[in-house]
Amino acid sequence: NAGVMQNPRHLVRRRGQEARLRCSPMKGHSHVYWYRQLPEEGLKFMVYLQKENIIDESGMPKERFSAEFPKEGPSILRIQQVVRGDSAAYFCASSAGGWSSYEQYFGPGTRLTVT
């Protein structure tokens, strides 16, 4: 019974390149949340998705960032034209539902370094 999986665990990109981060939720979970942890900061919400739908993207930067959760396959967080300020740990969490009664389970994170 695998937990939430994220890959890659570490990703190095040069400025201007694209970064793709993947999140496979726990079996049976159809709700995914992405959080970002900047250096010396707590985790901050970015986006909440259900299968094929973006429910809340209020925490996403307006430009260069996008997320999807297709019917088949993992959720993808995509960052275009990365800049040094995008260097952070990106965590996803999955749950069986979006209501507060459903606990979120976190993956190990992807650490993005932009050089």
Partner 1 sequence: KQEVTQIPAALSVPEGENLVLNCSFTDSAIYNLQWFRQDPGKGLTSLLLIQSSQREQTSGRLNASLDKSSGRSTLYIAASQPGDSATYLCAVRPPGANSKLTFGKGITLSVRP
Sites of contact with partner 1 (CB under 8 A) = 33, 35, 40-45, 48, 55-56, 59, 91, 93, 98-109, 111
CB-based contacts of 8: which residues, under 8 Å, 6+ apart? 21, 22, 110
Cβ 87 to partner 1 shortest distance, Å: 14
81's CB contacts (< 8 A; 6+ apart) are: 15, 16, 17, 18, 64
To partner 1, the closest distance from the beta carbon of 55 in angstroms equals: 6
Nearest to 78 by CA among 95, 94, 60: 60
φ and ψ at residue 113, rounded to 5 degrees: -120, 125
Of the two residues 3 and 73, which places its CB atom closer to partner 1 in the complex? Answer: 3
Instruction: Please say which residue, 74 or 109, places its beta carbon nearer to partner 1.
Output: 109
Q: How far is the CB of 68 from partner 1 (least distance, A)?
A: 18
Query: Do residues 98 and 33 lie in contact, with contact meaning Cβ atoms separated by under 8 Å?
Result: no
Least distance in Å: CB of 72 to partner 1? 24
Question: Looking at the DSSP assignment, which residues form a beta bridge with residue 22?
Answer: 7, 76
Between 28 and 42, CB nearer to partner 1? 42
Q: Which is nearer to partner 1, 10 or 18 (CB)?
A: 10
